[in-house]
Amino acid sequence: MALLVVLASFASGVLAQTPKKPDPKTKPPVGKGLASKPAPPPPPPPIAKELEEEVASIAAATGARLSASEHPVFDCASSLSRDETLIVVDGAEKAFAVFKEISGVSGPAEMFGIKKPLLVILPGAESYKKLGYWYEKAKGRPGMGDAVANSTYFPFDSPRCLIGMHLKPSDAVGLAHVAAHETGHLCVQRYKFNSNYSPPWLCEGMGAYLEARVFGITNCYCFSPGGAQRYGAADAGAVLEKLSDLQFAKWKTAVKAAAKSRQLKTFANFIPLQLSELGAGEVGKAWSMIDYMASLGPGKVGAFIGAVKRLWPAAVVYEHTPAKTAAQEKAILEVFGVEVAGFEEQWRAYVMAKY
Ligand SMILES: [Zn+2]
């Protein structure tokens, strides 16, 4: 620490000196001397005690070595180096900024409360599987352990907002995509929170939309046609191999062609689908619906999600019900002033003109 202080004051002393005129006869030393060395990075700011304790509790339960860090929207518990952690966190922070823009939400506190959502980056599947059981016990959510054990990443919406993920077989850049995508799920689940299930097309569409807006490429999918719902299910699956590192522009072209030839399921037909029943076509329609809503003005996407939550049936049921379709149809009429079929034709015209 003392050395850091000395170096820092020496470096700032060097910078403060009046620059001398260079002597053309003497070559400046290459890669040598203190002046050419970058100043040492400042030490990380102190971490809130509550976060330190929570991260220590997760580390103890998962057996992973984790460092806590605080960021504008998210907190982080990471097994990565500080620089790599920043790459992952940046994906989530940027995704939230896009959601803020399209939803009109005032800020993270409106959605998450006083505690920032926590990104947990674990080193591998073994420690990751223990995260759900820690959550189940520490946060009183039975069943979370088994649900998480069957995935490679997971958005926990309540009572503690948290995104869990692990490094195998990914890396910091891959996890930045996961962080942006899962932020999409967390945003749909938490915005105007109703403590009930959110429409799967909207959750998955928002994940893909935010990831595409942040990176221009999508690489993270939860849906696996024919398989069980599993966050991260498609990442390792050859079924969707053609979807890895998919350029957003390319996906737009495909959606445009499908919209033109009316190959895609109608909105009314894909509203009832569960995550496990969504395919690339439906997800392309889902994010392009969100994109169209966003094009109608700032806050329109938020107004739609808010109306869906307000009109949502009170019964907490995982499966789709007709009341869930009715809530979404009413929300479209209320926010956009047209019936679903009319809204769908507007979407088609937008996609064909813009994509
Ligand atoms: Zn997803």
Three-state DSSP at 119 gives strand
The pLDDT score that the predictor gives to residue 6 is 38
* Mean pLDDT (the chain, rounded): 86
The C-alpha atoms of residue 328 and residue 15 are separated, in whole angstroms, by 60
Cα 4 to Cα 10: distance, rounded to the nearest angstrom: 10
In this prediction the pTM is: 0.84
Residue 147 in this model has a pLDDT that exceeds 60: yes
Ligand 1 midpoint to CA 84 (Å)? 23
Cα 106 to ligand 1 centre (Å): 24
Residue 140 burial class via C-beta count within 10 angstroms: exposed 0-12, middle 13-18, buried 19 and up: exposed
Question: What is the reported pLDDT for 34?
Answer: 53
* Interval 274-288 mean pLDDT: 88
- 174 CA → ligand 1 middle, Å: 14
pLDDT at 200 exceeding the cut of 90: yes
CA 217 to chain centre: 14
Write the pLDDT tens digit of every residue in 241-267: 466 778 889 889 999 999 999 988 899
Q: What crossing angle do the helices spanning 49-62 and 125-139 adopt, rounded to 10°?
A: 120
How many angstroms is it from 159 CA to the middle of ligand 1?
20
Q: How far is the CA of 172 from the centre of ligand 1 (A)?
A: 18
**Ligand 1 center to residue 190 CA distance, Å?**
15
CA of 178 from ligand 1 middle (Å) equals 9
Q: In the CATH hierarchy, which top-level class contains the domain 49-354?
A: alpha beta
- Contact 239/225 with Cβ under 8 angstroms? yes
Ligand 1 mean position, distance from CA 208 (Å): 7
For the residues of 165-211, what is the DSSP string, one character each? EE-TT--HHHHHHHHHHHHHHHHHHHTT--SSPPPHHHHHHHHHHHH
**CA 37 to ligand 1 centroid distance, Å:** 43
Compute the distance between CA of residue 290 and CA of residue 301 in angstroms, rounded to an integer: 7
Closest CA to 347 of 247, 270, 241: 270
Centre of ligand 1 from the C-alpha of residue 313, in Å: 23
Q: Greater confidence, 222 or 73?
A: 73
Instruction: Say if residue 286's pLDDT is above 90.
Output: yes
Confidence of residue 225 (pLDDT cuts 50, 70, 90): very low
Could you tell me the distance, in angstroms and rounded to a whole number, from the CA of residue 130 to the centre of ligand 1?
Answer: 21
Ligand 1 centre to CA of 284 (Å) is 13
Asked if pLDDT for residue 293 goes beyond 50, the answer is yes
Section 277-281 average pLDDT? 84
* 151 alpha carbon – ligand 1 mean position (Å): 11
Ligand 1 centroid distance, CA of 93 (Å): 17
Q: For residue 22, report the distance from its CA to the centre of ligand 1, in Å.
A: 57
Q: Which two tokens stand for residue 170?
A: 């990914």
Q: 204 CA distance to ligand 1 centroid (A)?
A: 5
CA of residue 182 to ligand 1 center, whole Å: 6
Span of 2-11, 69-78, 115-124, 148-157 with lowest mean pLDDT: 2-11
Alpha carbon of 95 to ligand 1 centroid (Å): 13
Asked whether residue 16 carries a pLDDT value surpassing 70, the answer given is no
CA of 334 from ligand 1 middle (Å) equals 27
